[in-house]
């Protein structure tokens, strides 16, 4: 069983692209976020009667947990003001394994932090790379607010109240779109092009600072249901279909 089946960036430099393609071709039941994902699978020879379009299960996660997340005190703890800060997550190998790439990202964040609060939950592996490359000290001395990786409720609260989200995470990209927060996606490619097409995010591999400024100017008001066009609960659809097949 593969939930989130058929997602493709068509970028074989991404480890996830290889993994999800392999998983798709050893699965028996396929649950897709959209008809585009279904078309990808059919094109690759997957029998159509094994494919069910359910929508994006991130909607269920947000609907279930946002009320709890809204009770979090993380905004006050970090002395932030709602809708004035940028929230950042950087973790992908393409952004963190080469010194010159990671340095460009950090320089962009530090420049942005001179203009608005920037909050960076720093992953242990990324911290280690920054230390190894001799980049950590400058970051720590900058205006960037470095915090430990957060639990889901605190992080969701930070996402909902950010003015801008900068990330290389596909899930964060989806969550930003659903929550109505503009996003800069720091990647070479994405398997979620819908958020870019509707103007909820910008996809850019380089020039973090300049593209962050552009993302801040994205008009709000896009359709937050773009990833779940048919509505309803994707999780319930998956459960009901699976039970009917057992």
Q: Answer whether 135's CB lies under 8 Å from 106's CB.
A: yes
| Residue 25 falls in the annotated catalytic set | no
The structure tokens listed for 191 are 């398997």
Token pair 């960036």: residue: 9
Length in residues, the chain: 246
Beta bridge pairs of residue 202: 184
Rounded to whole angstroms, the Cα distance separating 53 from 238 reads 9
- Give just the sign of the alpha carbon dihedral 167, 168, 170, 171: negative
Residues ≥6 apart with Cβ < 8 Å to 46 = 24, 25, 30
CB 143 within 8 A of CB 110: yes
- Distance from C-alpha of 176 to C-alpha of 38, rounded to nearest angstrom: 24
User: Of 2, 25, 43, 91, which one is the catalytic site residue?
Assistant: 91
Contact (Cβ atoms closer than 8 angstroms) between residue 153 and residue 67 = no
Q: Which of 220, 241, 224, 184 is nearest to 29 (CA)?
A: 241
Pairing of strands 118-121, 86-89: parallel
CB atoms within 10 A of CB 199: 13
* Catalytic residue list: 91
């Amino acid at each position: 069983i593969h939930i989130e089946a058929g997602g493709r960036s068509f970028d074989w430099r991404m480890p996830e692209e290889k993994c999800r393609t392999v998983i798709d071709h050893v699965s028996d039941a396929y649950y897709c976020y959209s008809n585009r994902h279904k078309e990808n699978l059919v094109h690759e020879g997957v029998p159509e009667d094994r494919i069910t379009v359910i929508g994006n299960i991130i909607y269920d996660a947000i609907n279930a947990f946002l009320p709890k997340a809204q009770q979090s005190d993380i905004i006050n703890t970090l002395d932030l003001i709602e809708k004035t800060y940028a929230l950042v997550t950087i973790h992908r190998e393409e952004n963190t394994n080469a010194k010159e790439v990671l340095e460009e990202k950090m320089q962009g964040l530090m420049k942005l932090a001179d203009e608005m609060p920037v909050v960076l939950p720093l992953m242990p592996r990324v911290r280690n790379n920054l230390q190894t490359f001799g980049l950590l000290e400058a970051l720590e001395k900058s205006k960037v607010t470095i915090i430990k990786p957060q639990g889901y409720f605190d992080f969701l609260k930070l996402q909902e109240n950010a003015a801008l989200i900068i990330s290389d995470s596909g899930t964060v990209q989806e969550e930003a779109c659903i929550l109505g927060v503009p996003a800069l996606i720091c990647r070479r490619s994405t398997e979620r092009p819908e958020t870019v097409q509707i103007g909820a995010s910008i996809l850019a591999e380089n020039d973090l600072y300049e593209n962050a400024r552009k993302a801040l100017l994205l008009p709000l008001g896009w359709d937050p249901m773009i990833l779940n066009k048919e509505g309803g609960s994707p999780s319930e659809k998956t459960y009901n279909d699976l039970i009917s097949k057992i």
